[in-house]
Amino acid sequence: MQRNKIILTLEHPQWVEFIDAGTHLRLDEMALRLRNRFDLDLPTAISILSIYQKAQRKIPRWVDARCALTQRAYEQCSSQRVAEYRSSLFHGKEAWDMTAGLGVDGTFLSHQFESVYSVEVNPELVELLRFNSTRLGRTNHLILHSTFDDALTSLNREVDLIFIDPDRRPGSQRVHGLADCEPNVLSRLDELTSKSQTLALKLSPMVDLTELRRQIPLLTSLAVISELNEVKEIMAVVGTSALPNGITAVNLDPSGEQVFSSSGRKEPPLPAHCVDQHLVFEPGSALIKAGLADEYAQRHSLLKLGKHSFLYTANDVVLNSPGKWFEVVDQLDVNWKGIRKALSTRGIHEVMITKRDFPESVQTIRKRLGIKDGGQYHLYFYTNWDRVTRCLLLRRMRTSDQAFT
């Protein structure tokens, strides 16, 4: 799709009417029911609306402002929630986003800096970015048509922040290593740090944190950022930010932000050789990726159920925890007939299944039990400190349950 078609369609006098008519229709219905009602480029209009339907949850501000979106740029952009949180960690006079993409990161940085320059090499995307910047009312967000190398070379002053989101798909395959991404930040790391007070890198959730520390010895802060318990990115910072030095795990959900930062102390949590407490905590994905699950448990006096289990037990909920809390309903031996009987006795006909340090797959376990997926109950299979496999029947605690515990 040509970018001028997108802008022409968005500026068409019938576009708002088309949006109202097509928002709640399936894509196959749009072409049949709307083709004779509007004098605009129908394939382009349907393509835009199909992206809007998906983007409403990820970047609602762009949909509400009727911005120009392409499928590839939309797929690769940060979510509005993550970009807004990340930008809140920085402030100053001048920031440079060296890999603009759809411009979500630069837009939110423009709320924290007096001037933001976003660099984009694709001329079609540059036009869309300038169009969107106007629609979003960000007069201090300037779009530059340039390569990363040319923009960095021409930058002749120290700025407050340089932000880079290296492309993880420089070719036909996705990559995760920093040296394999485009641009190759490592090849110009000295120049980047000399031209910025703070360098912030948005990296793949799959990046090896130990290798990252080796590659960038000057790292001051690392943040593992998840949204709705799915790790979205690793943010690496050289310089100053609102993050403490070291590593931080962040989860963003409708209730707010759950943030836990390492103190640098690596004391293991106490082992629980039996489940004699009535609550179980499962740390969120950000805590686990950051390697902070045990430190979190130790700080909050949680007991660990097995060396590699990532399950912890307690009698009281830790409020605003970056993870899930469960009520212990029963403790079961790994005996398939006995587990089926325990579920049947309680009238449980569907259950969520999770395994931690357990030899069989979830698919195999579900097949053995012959039970559907879903419901409020969870079966957790794990290996305890004595290397004995065990099963817990748990009930997920609601937010309201946790608030009053």
Domain locations in the chain as residue ranges: 3-58, 75-261, 279-403
Residue 170 to residues 128, 153, 180: CA-CA distances in angstroms?
21, 21, 8
Q: Is the pLDDT of residue 400 over 50?
A: no
Residue in this structure with the two tokens 């007070």, named with its chain if needed = 197
Q: What is the mean predicted confidence (pLDDT) over 198-205? A: 96
Give the pLDDT of residue 170. 63
Interval 53-73: pLDDT, tens: 899 999 999 999 999 999 999
Give the pLDDT of residue 112. 98
Q: Is the pLDDT of residue 151 over 80?
A: yes
Give the pLDDT of residue 163. 98
Interval 339-350: pLDDT, tens: 999 999 999 999
Phi, psi for residue 231 in degrees, rounded to 5: -65, 125
Give the pLDDT of residue 142. 98
Q: Is the pLDDT of residue 89 over 60?
A: yes
Q: What band does 130 get if pLDDT is binned at 50, 70 and 90?
A: very high
Q: What band does 171 get if pLDDT is binned at 50, 70 and 90?
A: low
d(CA 212, CA 231): 17
Q: What band does 273 get if pLDDT is binned at 50, 70 and 90?
A: confident
Report the top-level CATH class of 75-261. Answer: alpha beta
Q: Is the pLDDT of residue 3 over 60?
A: no
Residue 289 to residues 213, 214, 264: CA-CA distances in angstroms?
15, 17, 16
Look at 398 and 148; give whichever has higher pLDDT.
148
Q: What band does 333 get if pLDDT is binned at 50, 70 and 90?
A: very high
Q: What band does 169 get if pLDDT is binned at 50, 70 and 90?
A: confident
Q: Which residues contact 278 (CB under 8 A, 6 or more apart)?
A: 315, 327, 328
Q: What band does 401 get if pLDDT is binned at 50, 70 and 90?
A: very low
Q: What band does 403 get if pLDDT is binned at 50, 70 and 90?
A: very low
Q: Is the pLDDT of residue 306 over 50?
A: yes
Here the tokens at position 374 are 């879903």
Q: What band does 402 get if pLDDT is binned at 50, 70 and 90?
A: very low
Look at 47 and 36; give whichever has higher pLDDT.
47
Strand order in the sheet with 303-304: 303-304, 312-314, 279-283, 323-333, 389-396, 377-383, 352-356
- Average pLDDT of the residues of the chain: 91
Q: Is the pLDDT of residue 86 over 90?
A: yes
Lowest mean pLDDT among 15-19, 265-269, 380-384: 265-269
Give the pLDDT of residue 176. 66
Q: What is the mean predicted confidence (pLDDT) over 318-334? A: 94
Q: Which of 156, 218, 159 is nearest to 189 (CA)?
A: 218
Give the pLDDT of residue 271. 86
Q: What is the mean predicted confidence (pLDDT) over 314-320? A: 92
Look at 328 and 173; give whichever has higher pLDDT.
328
Interval 20-43: pLDDT, tens: 777 777 777 777 777 777 778 888
